[in-house]
Amino acid sequence: MQIKVNGQPVEIFAGARVEDALRKFSRDEWRQVKSGRKSVRDGHGHVVGLDGELSGGEELVIAAVAAAEPRS
Amino acid sequence: MSRGRLSARPALLLFAAAVAAVAALAGQGAPAESHVVIFHNNDVHGKIDNFAKVAAILEAERKSGADVFYLSAGDNFTGDPVIDRADPPGEPMIEILGRLHLDLLSLGNHEFDYGLDAVRKLVSRFPTTSANIQPEPGVLPGLKPYVVLTGKSGVKLVVFGIIQIEPGNGLPSTHPDKVKGLRFTEPIAAALSLRKLRGEGQVFIGLTHIGHDQDVVLAKQMPELDVIIGGHSHTRIDAPELVNGVLITQAGSDNQFLGRIDLTVRNGKVAAKTSRLIDLSKAKDEDADLKAMIAKFHEDPAMARVVARSPIEITGKNALGSLMTDAICKVFNLDVAFQNNGGIRVNKLPLAITYHDLYTLDPFGNQVVRLEMTADEIRGLIRASCERRREIDLQVSGLTYIVRENGTQRIQEIELRGLNGAPLAEDKTYKVGLSSYVASSYRFAHKEPGRTVGITSVEALIMYLERRPDLGAYAEATRALYVKPPAPQAD
């Protein structure tokens, strides 16, 4: 299935989770999200967990965590 | 608990009594106005620690004058050994949800991970809904396409569940063997077929397990709904989100948050609605009894149970990796499997191998991914795995391989041989099992994108060990070699 991470298409196996898509996109970005320095949001702007299950066509956006934003 | 909340209660109770009296005088089943509070969670995945806080919150609200409900949008099971390895699996979760007086459960894909017996227990214990599951007769008695919940004021909530299905196989994301005897239909279509239920109550709710993206699609097509309470995508919807007039919410995952929806129902319909998430890490009050119960579940000796006994201490990455990859091959009937060294977290297994040992060996919860790969694609994976460190990184089952470097520290050749020692056939496609970590983070070309099999690598290992394989065979198990040319002799 294909999803988009930061606007770029990522081809990933069916049943993948957010974490898998981030790793496929960039291991460095994945590590930053895992450590809490960055967060990942869906195409609607909501924070999603690394274990979140994906379907084809979804969008993810990686962004730096704002100072006041709680880490998930 | 604050004094303010205590002092507010008598007033609330009086208000509720007055509202109920007005409704009774009007001769209607529902009151002229009521305050409905719906607590909800989703994708708890076996994380039980915060349930003592959830209990305290529910208890406090249930004493108020409001109509209070507690709903689950699925995936309570799978993700923590305390629940996964309980005897029977899932039982502690069922007991806790019972203590919390769960009003309704919408089945998630991971509710099926322990098999249909565990699902039957859920369905027999709690009102359970899923409109797009059609069980064969007798397979899941009690599962309802929708349920009508009635509050103490008489207010009626019509709630239906729907569960995600994979586009490829039309099944939820779990192992296909776990859902035998069940037929799944397209979830949005199933929901739309229930539009007529709008008139059956004052509040119409989709309690879904299809992911937030699909919740938005549903809201756009079904404005009859008042609320969608979602799950599956682990989305944290902090502020109320209205799509086409439908309030959509979801409470993240792992029991970190409890969702709260407040509805004002006036003259038979929802007049006001809002939602928020309660951060359970900041909640102070806990139900002491439930806290003690949870502590007891953590002390369960299940993790110390012996899964298998070995005549040798299986030692080193080669032997442990061979065992782990054999498990994937045998359990899923695959030709080849790979396991990265970084995912092998101990150096030795004891003679009496417990669940705890296995979860320590393979603690990451990686799914097994099945791909179809050619011999050349397999070479590409091996090349990607050992280019950085110039050493073997992938343990293997189903074949052996030798990586040969040239004199410039680059890989010159990767020789693949089958179990019979003959070169691997180049014109064949192989069924290959990888952990989701390897499948997603190693850079290798492959035409077929693959699919998770709905089981983690550690679960595959447990299933393999339960078959009592000859563990003595793992005394010597080197299946991959990295050969560097001899260093040039100094003059």
Q: Hey, are the CB atoms on A53 and B173 less than 8 Å from each other?
A: yes
Question: What's the confidence (pLDDT) of residue B375?
Answer: 98
Residue in B closest to A50 by C-alpha = B234
Closest CA to B71 of B286, B197, B259: B259
Nearest of B480, B482, B479 to residue B412 by alpha carbon: B482
Strand blocks (E) in B28-93: 33-41, 67-72
**Spatial contact of B346 and B360, defined as CB atoms under 8 Å apart:** yes
**Chain B hits for A68, Cβ within 8 Å:** none
**AA identity, residue B324:** M
- For residue B467, the Cα-to-chain-centroid distance in whole angstroms is 26
Which of chain B's residues have a Cβ under 8 Å away from the Cβ of A57?
213
> Nearest residue of A to residue B440 by CA position?
A24
Supply B283's token pair.
């909640």
B395, B384, B266: which is closest to B326 by C-alpha?
B395
Chain A environment of B283 (Cβ under 8 Å): none
How does pLDDT run across B344-377, given as a tens digit for each residue?
999 999 999 999 999 999 999 999 999 999 999 9
Give domain B305-483's CATH number out of 3.20.190.10, 3.90.780.10, 3.100.10.20, 1.20.1250.20: 3.90.780.10
Look at residue B160 and tell me whether its pLDDT is greater than 50.
yes
* CA-CA-CA-CA torsion sign (B101, B105, B108, B113): positive
pLDDT value of residue B21: 43
Q: Residue A41, CB half-sphere, CA atoms under 13 Å: how many?
A: 14
Predicted confidence at residue B490, as pLDDT, reads 63
Rounded to 5 degrees, φ, ψ at B474 are -95, 15
B254 contacts A23? CB cut-off 8 A:
no
Q: Determine phi and psi for B480, rounding to 5 degrees.
A: -140, 140
* Local confidence band at B303 (pLDDT 50, 70, 90 cut-offs): confident
Mean pLDDT of chain A: 92
Answer whether A46 sits within 8 Å of B109, measured CB to CB. no
Picking from B188, B179, B366, B202, the residue whose alpha carbon sits closest to that of residue B271 is B202
**Residue B453, CA distances (Å) to A14, A15, B135, B158 in order:** 9, 8, 22, 35
Preceding peptide of B363 cis, ω within 30°? no
Average pLDDT over residues B431-453: 96
Mark yes or no for CB contact B236/A15 under 8 Å: no
Closest CB to B233 among A19, A27, A52: A52
Distance from CA of B210 to the nearest CA of A (A): 9
Considering the four listed CATH numbers 3.60.21.10, 1.10.540.10, 3.40.50.1240, 3.40.50.980, the one that applies to the domain covering B3-298 is 3.60.21.10
pLDDT per residue over B118-152, tens digit each? 999 999 999 999 999 999 999 999 999 999 999 99
Q: What are phi and psi of B106, to 5 degrees?
A: -105, 125
- The minimum CA-CA distance between B252 and chain A, rounded to whole Å, is 7
Go through chain B and tell me how many residues it has.
491
Does the distance separating the beta carbons of A18 and B211 come in below 8 Å? no
Q: What pLDDT sits at residue B349? A: 98
| Cα–Cα nearest to B226, from B144, B163, B155 | B155
Which stretches of chain A score pLDDT less than 70? Answer: 67-72
**What residues contact residue B224 under an 8 Å CB cut-off, 6+ apart?**
B195, B198, B204
The verdict on a CB contact (< 8 Å) between B45 and A54 is no
Which amino acid is located at B442 in the chain?
Answer: Y
Would you say residue B66 has pLDDT above 80?
yes
Residue of chain B nearest A42, judged by CA positions: B235
A5 touches chain B (CB under 8 A): no
Bridge-based pairing state of the strands B352-354 and B306-309 = antiparallel
H/E stretch holding A24 reads helix A18-25
> Is A49 an 8 Å CB contact of chain B?
yes
Residue B167 is predicted with a pLDDT of 86
Whether residue A14 and residue B79 make contact (CB cut-off 8 A), yes or no, is no
Min distance A11 CA to chain B CA atoms (Å)? 7
* Residue boundaries of the structural domains of chain B: 3-298, 305-483
> Nearest CA of chain A to the CA of B379: how many Å?
19
- Could you tell me which of B258, B232, B222 has the C-alpha nearest to residue B110? B232
Quick one: pLDDT at residue B430? Answer: 98
B318, B454, B83, B364: CA torsion to nearest 10 = 40
How far off is chain A from B448, nearest CA to CA, in Å?
Answer: 9
Question: Torsions phi, psi of B310, nearest 5?
Answer: -120, 145
Instruction: For residue B357, give the nearest of B303, B313, B317 by alpha carbon.
Output: B303
Give A59's strand partners. A4
* ipTM here: 0.90
For B168-221, the pLDDT digits (tens) are 889 999 999 999 999 999 999 999 999 999 999 999 999 999 999 999 999 999
Task: Give the helix ranges, DSSP H, for B132-230.
Answer: 187-192, 212-221
Supply the pLDDT for residue B292. 98
Interchain pair B252, A49: CB under 8 A: yes
Cβ-nearest to B252 among A11, A44, A72: A72
pLDDT tens-digit series, residues B224-275:
999 999 999 999 999 999 999 999 999 999 999 999 999 999 999 999 999 9
B421 SS3 class: coil
Size of interface A-B (CB pairs under 8 A): 112
Strand, helix or coil for residue B281: coil
Q: Taking CB atoms and an 8 Å limit, are B213 and A48 in contact across chains?
A: no
Residue tagged 């934003």 (tokens): A69
Residue B413 · residue B404 · CB < 8 Å: yes
Q: Does A3 touch chain B (CB under 8 A)?
A: no
pLDDT, position B432: 98
Q: Cα separation of B121 and B257, whole Å?
A: 26
- To which H or E segment does residue B380 belong? helix B375-386
Q: What is the pLDDT of residue B491?
A: 60
Identify the architecture of domain A2-64 in CATH: Roll (3.10)
Residue with the two structure tokens 């070309």: B445
Residue B111 has pLDDT above 90, yes or no: yes
